[in-house]
Amino acid sequence: MEVLFFSTETQNPSTQTKCIWLQDVKNLEGFEHLLTSVLKLNLDPKRPLGGDYASLAGAFGKDMTYVWFLGSKDSPTEVLLRDCNPTLVYLNKLLSSKEVGRSDVAGLISEWVKKQRCNCPKCGSLC
């Protein structure tokens, strides 16, 4: 995905690739692969002590009615992420939070991002 920036000095447009971390998941190139190979595999199975799609839904501020709705879906994680459409950095933050407790999954996302070779100039230590 490219974002158009305009310089006020030259009035000539220049293009810059938006950082992978700052893209919302619906528009993220390669999201389907990340969704099936990492997120659904790790978050769809119900876990008695949390750290599954229900914990992530709670971190997004969803109520129990919505969590029960998710439980009726083939892939609750996919439905949740498509409904909430977080940026990848926000998703990683929630996964690493105490409420969700899935820093292992956050680490897998970080590894995936490194393989994508984000070329943004302001990413710093994230890429």
In a domain, 57, yes or no: yes
In a domain, 66, yes or no: yes
Largest CA distance in the chain: 58
In a domain, 92, yes or no: yes
Confidence grade of residue 11 (pLDDT, cut at 50, 70, 90): very low
- Higher-confidence position of 103 and 26: 103
In a domain, 114, yes or no: yes
C-alpha torsion 124→6→84→30, nearest 10? -60
Structural domain including 79 reads 20-120
In a domain, 15, yes or no: no
Number of domains within the chain: 1
Secondary structure element (H or E) that encloses residue 110, with its range: helix 103-116
Residue range 35-48: average pLDDT?
A: 94
- Burial category of 57 from C-beta neighbours within 10 Å (exposed 0-12, middle 13-18, buried 19 and up): buried
Residue range 33-61: average pLDDT?
A: 95
Residue range 86-110: average pLDDT?
A: 96
pTM exceeds 0.75:
yes
Say if residue 16's pLDDT is above 50: no
In a domain, 14, yes or no: no
30 touches 64 (CB < 8 A): no
In a domain, 111, yes or no: yes
Mean pLDDT value across the chain: 84
Confidence grade of residue 122 (pLDDT, cut at 50, 70, 90): low
In a domain, 127, yes or no: no
